[in-house]
Amino acid sequence: MSFTVKLFLDTRRKRADKEYTIKLRITYYRRLVEVSTGYRVDERYWNVTTAEVKSRASGNTSRLNSQLQKQKTEVSDVLLDLEREEKLHTMPTQELRQYLIRKDSETKTYVYCDEVIARLKLANRIGTARSYKYMRNSVHGFMRSGKKLPNWLVNENDKTPGREKHPLEYPKYRDQVDFTLIRITTKWLHEYDAWYRSRGNSVNGLAVVMRTLRALINKARKEQMLPKDHNPFGEYRIKKEATRKRAISQAELDLIKIYEPQTDLQSRAKDYFLLSFYLMGTSFSDLVYMQMKQIREGRVEYKRQRTGGLYTIKITAPLQVILNKYTAGKSDEDYVLGILSSGTTPEEQSKAAQGALKRYNKALKTIGEVCGINAPITSYTARHSFATIAKYKGVPTAIISEAMGHKTEEITQVYLDSFNREVLDDWNEKIVL
C-alpha cells in the first residue's frame, strides 16, 4: 500500500484540562494529513508504543480503544478505495482531509468548529473567530455538564404545580469527547437554552451564541457536511431583549469637552470619545484600526471593521485639533492612535485592541462621574449620542441612518429611543398640565 494510518497523541497544544487530542496521522505519496478522532486523554494515560489508551485511565478504556481502532480501519478503507480508483496520488492534502471528514459517520461538532475558526483566523476575521470559540466552549460546557435540564425548564408554558420541587427524570449527556453535529436538534437547542440561562447569563448573551451556532450549522449544510434538510433552527426562535441605548445630551457632551484630564489615560479616553463623535459615531474598533494613509485631502476614508462599508468623512476643525495630536511624525502604514503596531499578527492586534477598550471604558466611567453625568458612559455612548443630538438638531432619520452605516432606518430608531421618549414626555406634559 502507498499509505499508512497511525494513531498518535498530539502533544503540541496543551489544553486547560491537561488533556491532548488523539489524532490519525495519514501519510501517502510523501504527503501528510492529520485528522482528529474527537477523543482526548491525559498524556499519562497514552501508551506511545501500542498507540492506545492505558487501562488504568478512567472510564471504559476498552470501548474507547475499540472506537479508535474502528476509526482507523474506516479511514484505511476509504484510502484503499481512493487508491483503487487511482485518485489518491493526485489528491491534495486539504482535499483529502475534507474528504475524510465527510466520509466519517457524521461531521464532528468540535472538529468542524475548530476548522472554521482556523479559516476565520487565516482571513484575519479575529473577532468572528473569537465568537465561534466562545460558542464552542459554551457548548462543550453544556455537553460535559453531566445532565440535561428538566423538561419543565425547557417548556416555558408548563405551569404545573410542584414542578419546581419535583423535576421530571431526565437522561444524561456527559459527553467527554466530541459529538456529531447532527445531534443538534430543535429539542437540543431548547435544552441548551435552558442550561445557559440557568447559569445566570442574559438573554442577549444567549442570542449571540445561538446566532453563531446557527451560522455554523448553515455553513455545514452549505459545504455538504450536513444534510440540507437538517435545520434545527426552523422551529427555534432566537430571543432578544430590548436594551436601553443611553445617549448623553449636548450639555453633557459640552462638559466632557471642557473636562481637564487628570491622567494620560483620561486624556486619551477623552480624545477617543470626541473622535468617535466627530467621525459620525464611528466605533472604537474602527478608530483603533485607522491608518495614516486613510487621511487624505481633508477627509478620513475607511472601511468599517464590522460591515466592510466604505466611509468618507470631512475633517472638521475640532476633529483636526485632535488628529494633530496623534498624526505628527507618522508614516502611511502607521496606525493613527498608536494602539496597534505594524508587523504584528492579527491575534496580537486583537488582544491589544481589547486591552485598550477595557482601559478606555474604565477611564470614561471616571470622567462621567467627575462631570456629574448620571448614567455610566461607555465607548458606545459616543455613537448613540451622535444620533440623538443630530435628531434634536432636526437632521432627518434617513440622513442619520446613512451617516451611521445602518442598513435600515429601523436600526437607527433603536439609537433614537431616548429621543422619542423625551419628545413624548414633553408633549404629554403640555397636554395634561
| Separation of alpha carbons 172 and 184, rounded Å | 15
Tell me phi and psi for residue 142, to 5 degrees. Answer: -65, -45
If asked whether residues 349 and 219 sit together in one domain, one would say no
| Separation of alpha carbons 217 and 136, rounded Å | 12
If asked whether residues 272 and 333 sit together in one domain, one would say yes
If asked whether residues 228 and 377 sit together in one domain, one would say no
| Separation of alpha carbons 83 and 267, rounded Å | 67
Q: Which of 104, 130, 159 is the last residue of a domain?
A: 104
If asked whether residues 403 and 292 sit together in one domain, one would say yes
Q: Could you tell me the three cell numbers for 381?
A: 455612548
Q: Which of 202, 235, 268 is the last residue of a domain?
A: 235
Q: How many domains are contained in the chain?
A: 3
Q: HSE (CB half, 13 Å, CA atoms) of 65?
A: 16
| Separation of alpha carbons 236 and 196, rounded Å | 15
Tell me phi and psi for residue 126, to 5 degrees. Answer: -70, -40
Tell me phi and psi for residue 155, to 5 degrees. Answer: -90, 100
Answer yes or no: is 127 within a domain.
Answer: yes
Q: Do 332 and 241 form a contact (C-beta atoms < 8 A)?
A: no
Predicted confidence at residue 335, as pLDDT, reads 94
Residue numbers of the chain with a pLDDT score lower than 50:
104-105, 147-176, 424, 427-428, 430-433
| Residue 167 DSSP class | P
| Residue 237 DSSP class | P
Predicted confidence at residue 144, as pLDDT, reads 80
Predicted confidence at residue 6, as pLDDT, reads 95
Q: Could you tell me the three cell numbers for 300?
A: 478620513
Strands (E), 286-423: 295-296, 299-303, 310-314
Per-residue pLDDT tens for 112-152?
898 888 888 877 788 889 999 999 999 998 988 754 444 43
Answer yes or no: is 190 within a domain.
Answer: yes
Q: Do 266 and 257 form a contact (C-beta atoms < 8 A)?
A: no
Predicted confidence at residue 118, as pLDDT, reads 83
Tell me phi and psi for residue 180, to 5 degrees. Answer: -75, 140
Helical spans, DSSP H, in 150-258? 151-154, 186-198, 203-222, 250-258
| Separation of alpha carbons 72 and 24, rounded Å | 7
If asked whether residues 351 and 261 sit together in one domain, one would say yes
Q: Do 127 and 120 form a contact (C-beta atoms < 8 A)?
A: no
Terminal Cα-to-Cα distance of the chain (whole angstroms): 93
Provide the domain limits for residue 67.
3-104
| Residue that the C-alpha cell 478620513 belongs to | 300
Answer yes or no: is 243 within a domain.
Answer: no
If asked whether residues 91 and 154 sit together in one domain, one would say no
If asked whether residues 17 and 99 sit together in one domain, one would say yes
| Separation of alpha carbons 94 and 19, rounded Å | 26
Q: Which of 180, 204, 235 is the last residue of a domain?
A: 235
Predicted confidence at residue 237, as pLDDT, reads 92
pTM of the predicted structure, to 2 decimals? 0.58
If asked whether residues 315 and 338 sit together in one domain, one would say yes
Predicted confidence at residue 106, as pLDDT, reads 63
| Residue that the C-alpha cell 510523501 belongs to | 30
Alpha carbon of residue 414 to chain centroid: 22
Contacts of 161 (CB under 8 A, 6+ apart): none
Answer yes or no: is 147 within a domain.
Answer: yes
**For the packed helices 186-198 and 203-222, what is the interaxial angle rounded to 10 degrees?**
150
| Separation of alpha carbons 415 and 389, rounded Å | 11
If asked whether residues 408 and 329 sit together in one domain, one would say yes
If asked whether residues 333 and 385 sit together in one domain, one would say yes
Per-residue pLDDT tens for 300-332?
888 877 666 777 888 989 999 999 999 998 999
If asked whether residues 283 and 402 sit together in one domain, one would say yes
Q: Do 106 and 98 form a contact (C-beta atoms < 8 A)?
A: no
Q: Do 108 and 179 form a contact (C-beta atoms < 8 A)?
A: yes
Q: Could you tell me the three cell numbers for 158?
A: 408548563
